[in-house]
Amino acid sequence: MPSLQEFIKDSINSAPAEPVKLSDAVAIEEVPTPALIIDLDLFERNLDKMQTYLRNNSIDLRCHTKMHKCPIIAHKQIDAGAIGVCAATVSEAEVMQTNGITNVLITSPVVTPEKIDRVITLGVDNPDLQMVIDDIEIANLFNKAAKRSGIQLSVLIDLDPGMGRTGIEMGDPALTLGNHIVDNCDSLRFGGLQMYAGHCMHIEGFENRRGKYNHIMGKGAETKTLFEESGIEVPVFSGGGTGTFNIEAGLGLMTELQAGSYIFMDIEYREIGGEGSERFEDFEPSLFVLVTAISKPQQRLITVDAGFKSFASDKMAPEFRDVEGVIFHWGGDEHGIIQLTNPSREINLGDKLPMLTPHCDPTVNLYDYYYPVRDGMVEELWPITARGRSQ
């Protein structure tokens, strides 16, 4: 009978992570629905566009795996030039490290003894592991645990950008923590600063977003200067995301970008607007939920087999990829009801159609596998190995 920690470790080690090769390629029309599909051509264009842009602007990419939760995709991002990945939770980091990805930054604070031990266990086998810290007492706990295991753990100080979610107050409080780590924590190695202004990522209107973001990150720059003037080098400033990818270079602060959604995109990001555009279209939607029309209860309505169990949404409904003149209404856990106001094409029972996701991150967490599609065919499945790894 295993202990709790042994059970967690065994479940991660046994979780499928390799591509599932199909004996015969399957046409997308034969995929059982609802299904999470990736248009590989668009996916690869997004991958290349972000990497090229950041490379040209001397910013590293530390892609956030909380979005796709898939080691296969993380390896593709690293192969394309990313320096490493982020993980929002310890268990996501465990999944990535178990599957050969070592340059991992855990972006959320960890405070309990059992999770601190799990982080240290990862660090014993992986000198590239990094952890964020925003509290002196927690720094002391990590230092003691690292010393017991004989390792040096790299840590970034997490700065609160004003969200009141995680992080330490900028300015003197952050510097006090930095001095404490440098002077009193001999088993911790100060690696730099993290500052993720998540409340700026979805500000509508590019100029509005840039103005707010520049103001907030200016305070981060002041904190960085405070560290340097106190004799503490800040080799890394990590943060940002898809919504600010083309704002960072003008600031000259971020050394690595924690972008995730750019490879898939969703309706929420589309609606924030791009530079010179009402829609954010710098990256193309490559992730879709394939649904089937299963019932026509009324003349102007048709029902698909995807509801709350298939789409996660903070504030908006999914949309068809290539059908206009219809409105999606939530029909419960398993159903979506499509109002046929002025459809651009006829939808018949049995038709399978791709839909854009309202919010890609939590939608991904509802599925076990991706169906990567090229030229209308699926040749393999990609396990969503870190699905549900919220611990």
Task: Write out pLDDT tens, residues 285-334.
Answer: 999 999 999 999 999 999 999 999 999 987 889 999 999 999 999 999 99
Instruction: Indicate if 166 and 312 belong to the same structural domain.
Output: no
Instruction: Indicate if 261 and 295 belong to the same structural domain.
Output: no
In a domain, 5, yes or no: no
In 3D space, the residue among 58, 55, 73, 112 whose CA is nearest the CA of residue 89 turns out to be 112
Supply the CATH number for residue 22's domain.
2.40.37.20
Q: What is the pLDDT of residue 220?
A: 98
- Give residue 142's domain range: 40-265
Transcribe 215-278 into DSSP letters.
Answer: HHHHHHHHHHHHHHHTT-----EEE--GGGTTTHHHHT--SEE---GGGT--HHHHTT-BTTBS
Q: What is the pLDDT of residue 370?
A: 98
In 3D space, the residue among 154, 59, 46, 41 whose CA is nearest the CA of residue 103 turns out to be 154
Task: Write out pLDDT tens, residues 40-72.
Answer: 999 999 999 999 999 999 999 999 999 999 999
Final residue before a domain boundary, out of 240, 265, 290: 265
Rounded Cα distance between 118 and 9, Å, is 9
Q: Say whether pTM exceeds 0.85.
A: yes
Rounded Cα distance between 277 and 344, Å, is 25
Q: What is the pLDDT of residue 5?
A: 82
Q: What is the pLDDT of residue 8?
A: 85
In 3D space, the residue among 241, 235, 184 whose CA is nearest the CA of residue 54 turns out to be 241
Alpha-carbon distances, residue 292 vs 38, 298, 302 (angstroms): 17, 17, 10
Q: What is the pLDDT of residue 13?
A: 85
Instruction: Indicate if 69 and 216 belong to the same structural domain.
Output: yes
Q: What is the pLDDT of residue 114?
A: 96
Q: What is the pLDDT of residue 385?
A: 98
Show the low-confidence residues of the chain (pLDDT under 70): none
In a domain, 99, yes or no: yes
Final residue before a domain boundary, out of 232, 265, 298: 265
Q: Three-state SS for 30?
A: helix
Count of domains observed in the chain:
2
Q: What is the pLDDT of residue 390?
A: 93
Supply the CATH number for residue 188's domain.
3.20.20.10
Burial of 32 (0-12, 13-18, 19+ CB in 10 A): exposed
Final residue before a domain boundary, out of 198, 233, 265: 265
Contact 391, 78 (CB under 8 A): no
